[in-house]
Amino acid sequence: MKESAIEDTPLFNQSLAKALSVIRAFSSRQRTMTLAEIAIVAQITRSSAQRIVFTLEALGYIRKHPQTRRFLLTPRALSIGCNYLEADPLVDCANPFLAALNAQCKESVALTEPDGLDMVYVSRFPSHEHVTIHVPVGKRVPMYCTGSGRAYLSARNDQESMEILKQSERKKYTPTTITDIGEILNMLEEAKARGYAYNNEELYIGDVTIASPIVNASGEAIAAVHVAAPGSRWTFAEASQKLAPLVLECARSISNAARNFD
């Protein structure tokens, strides 16, 4: 059922949807906002924003800065995402293997899960060395131009992968971002054959990722694991040669341990 159709059903709670849109409105680009700004970013009326912000403030999810009088999220907002992470069996299952991979390669290792057109970071072990790109748990990245997204798509059926690519905005984040569907499909076929996918500075300049899908008992991808290799320490060729075998082994281990997960 399409989102517009769902919103027209009598069971759909508009007030709850608006409240969630207010929480999602805050980001690294919108750390603090006025009531008017919240209404614009959340795409709701100012009167709705006023009622929702008042309620969220009373519940402790939003507060008003005493000096600037601008609204910002509180640490309590983290409880929503934390509840998911605590209830997700794949995170507990994968973490020992992710930690081992992190110790082997010394670079940032992450587990991502699909949500719509994006992959979402649900676990991350940071690099032992300096990194310039901060990617917190909960961060969303598009499937079409990331190693984790391509790894996931490579282990899904062709029709689903094509539909996701067609619906994606496919914008160029960097000069090297690949946006052509045909070219991406070729990359997915190559990833399927060798077991891993990559992203060579397509989302962030100076960032290469090597990723492999985590699959269930039916061989369908349910998540992906990747290593981020900074260009300051790795060439693409080195990352492919040295990191890919480690990522493949980690993904196989997690897949075997999680074979009964949907």
- pLDDT, one tens digit per residue, over 166-219 is 999 999 999 999 999 999 999 999 999 999 999 999 999 999 999 999 999 989
Query: Domain check: are 117 and 26 in the same one?
Result: no
Query: Domain check: are 189 and 101 in the same one?
Result: yes
* Residue 77 DSSP one-character state: G
Query: Domain check: are 164 and 96 in the same one?
Result: yes
Report pLDDT for 131: 83
Give me the number of domains the chain comprises. 2
Query: Domain check: are 149 and 67 in the same one?
Result: no
Query: Domain check: are 50 and 99 in the same one?
Result: no
177 domain-assigned: yes
* Burial annotation 165-177 (CB, 10 A radius, 16+ → b, else e): beebebeebeeeb
Last residue of a domain, one of 59, 79, 99: 79
Query: Domain check: are 66 and 98 in the same one?
Result: no
Q: Summarize pLDDT for 84-141 with one digit per residue, the tens.
A: 999 999 999 999 999 999 999 999 999 999 999 999 999 999 998 888 888 999 999 9
Query: Domain check: are 162 and 240 in the same one?
Result: yes
Q: What is the CATH number for 69?
A: 1.10.10.10
Q: Are 225 and 250 in contact (CB under 8 A)?
A: yes
Report pLDDT for 262: 58
Q: Is 233 helix (H, G, I), strand (E, B) or coil?
A: coil
173 domain-assigned: yes
Closest-CA residue to 136 (of 155, 169, 112, 152):
112
Query: Domain check: are 142 and 205 in the same one?
Result: yes
262 domain-assigned: no
What does the mean pLDDT of the chain come to? 94
Residue span of the structural domain in which 139 resides: 88-257
Report pLDDT for 130: 85
Last residue of a domain, one of 56, 79, 102: 79
Range of lowest pLDDT (116-125, 169-178, 231-240, 248-257): 231-240
